[in-house]
Structure 1
Amino acid sequence: MNKLQKIGGVSAIFEAIIYVSAFVFFGAFWSFPTDADSVQKFAFLAENQIILSIVNFIMYVLFGIILAVLVLAIHERLKSNSPTLSQIASIFGVVWVGLVIASGMIANIGLSAALELSTKDPEQAMTVWRAIYSVVEGLGGGNEVVGGLWVLLLSFAALKGGEFSKRLNYFGLFVGTVGILTVYPADVLTEIFGVSQIVWFSWLGFTMLRSNQS
């Protein structure tokens, strides 16, 4: 149990690191030519396919794998005092894991398929790429409802069971609520959820590590 909590704490911190890395990459290094034509856009994507595929793998697939460990660790911690809420939260946590991993796999396979098509018909390829991008955003990129439900429910369970600190749990309620609100397509909500999750994951991770040591 203690070993799993330590692994869960490290996992939570790694989730925060992945979030920060994604923000830094897309904010400071990724300069997609949004005003260019289809040929120029695909030329840019082809030139940066490897790095974008790696980033997608880390941001989605690796994130989902680490998240699975964290979901299990939190469930083990909460199930004694809040069994029902913990089980329900875990269901949404597992679903979120699947959606996030699927998003990364679709993004990379879709990118490869669109680039292949672009050599024959750039306009058709752009239509395909936009459709793929919409699927990725719907599953786990721009819609965080499932992740928000997981954070919200486990925060309720932790409050009920007296786990973690009340401040962390109330902050988790805020993070979860913002995640659910991303059902409305507004970039600001997704950004707030992302930034607040960095804080939440970090706070949760260090809390789990400290409690494990004590």
Structure 2
Amino acid sequence: MSLLKWGGLAAIVEACTYIFGFILFFGILNTTGLETPKQYLSFVIEHRDSYFLGYLISGILFSLALIILVHATYQTFKQVSPEFINITTIIGYLWAGLVLASSLIFLSSLGPIAKYHAIDPDAALVINRSITIVVDALGGGIELVGALWVLAISYVGLKGKIFSQWLHYWGVLVGLAGVLTIFAGFSFLADNGFFSTTTAIFGLGQIVWFLGLGFAMLNAGAKQA
């Protein structure tokens, strides 16, 4: 099977991991009724295996599939803008590395936190909140790195007229929404609902973008065969 087809399958896997994550974390493991950090931590420990499975798929599988997709897009887009796509590829690999690192940190923390919680719940809470900050910083609290990769790939696609234009315009929209999430770090913007919207656009919009990119790469690979 050609690299283009592998890339297409990887993109579809990316979309599926997002869908799985939304269903698991916002549906099955819904924590909206929990009022305190202690209640949330107890809930996580109680559903430890579900969280472990969730991060295996939405974190580990996502990042490994992303590595394949980044390499496939490099091979597909490099003729259009060789120097720019080299930088874009580095950003893509960096995104995969950040997601992988954050997922491994979270997965490796579940066991120790459960043990600490049985001995000293307050200490376990402090450790968990510290780990949460690190995981969020690396894995998507700010969507800048992933957004830049989506934006750059979409720009090259538009420039070289690779695949359909609607796909790349959608990628530009999704990428810009992700870039805007960085501004939520300003204290006077922290509670602005606009940034919750941009985060949602980036997350949900990527599902459509990954699916569109995946099927486009599969179709192109089939034509080359």
TM-score by length of 2: 0.88
Displacement of 1:47 in angstroms is 2.3
C-alpha separation in 2, matches of 1:201 and 1:20: 11
Residue in structure 2 matched with residue 193 of structure 1 by the alignment: 202
The CA RMSD over aligned residues, in Å, is 1.6
Secondary structure at 2:119's aligned position in 1? Answer: coil
Q: What amino acid is aligned across from residue 195 of structure 1 in structure 2?
A: L
Residue in structure 1 matched with residue 35 of structure 2 by the alignment: 35
C-alpha separation in 2, matches of 1:194 and 1:127: 29
C-alpha separation in 1, matches of 2:136 and 2:159: 33
Displacement of 1:147 in angstroms is 0.3
Aligned length: 212
Displacement of 1:80 in angstroms is 1.3
Distance 1:174 1:31, change over 3 A: closer
Displacement of 1:37 in angstroms is 6.6
Residue in structure 2 matched with residue 206 of structure 1 by the alignment: 215
* Of 73-82 and 26-35, the range deviating more from structure 2: 26-35
Displacement of 1:36 in angstroms is 4.9
Q: What amino acid is aligned across from residue 201 of structure 1 in structure 2?
A: F
| Counterpart mapping for 1:16-165 below 5 A | 16-32=15-31, 34-36=34-36, 38=38, 40-165=39-164
Residue in structure 2 matched with residue 179 of structure 1 by the alignment: 178
Displacement of 1:83 in angstroms is 0.5
Distance 1:173 1:41, change over 3 A: closer
C-alpha separation in 2, matches of 1:189 and 1:137: 17
C-alpha separation in 1, matches of 2:28 and 2:174: 27
**Percent identity of paired positions between Structure 1 and Structure 2:** 38
C-alpha separation in 1, matches of 2:92 and 2:205: 18
> Any idea what the Cα deviations from partners look like across 1:38-71, whole Å, max 9, x if unmatched?
2x54443232111111111111111000000000
> Any idea what the Cα deviations from partners look like across 1:192-212, whole Å, max 9, x if unmatched?
111000000001011111111
Gaps of 5+ in 1: none
Gaps of 5+ in 2: 185-194
Q: What amino acid is aligned across from residue 141 of structure 1 in structure 2?
A: G
Please tell me whether the aligned partners of residues 82 and 158 of structure 1 are also in contact (alpha carbons under 8 angstroms): no
Please tell me whether the aligned partners of residues 144 and 182 of structure 2 are also in contact (alpha carbons under 8 angstroms): yes
Q: What amino acid is aligned across from residue 128 of structure 1 in structure 2?
A: I
C-alpha separation in 1, matches of 2:111 and 2:98: 20
Secondary structure at 2:182's aligned position in 1? Answer: coil
Q: What amino acid is aligned across from residue 35 of structure 2 in structure 1?
A: D
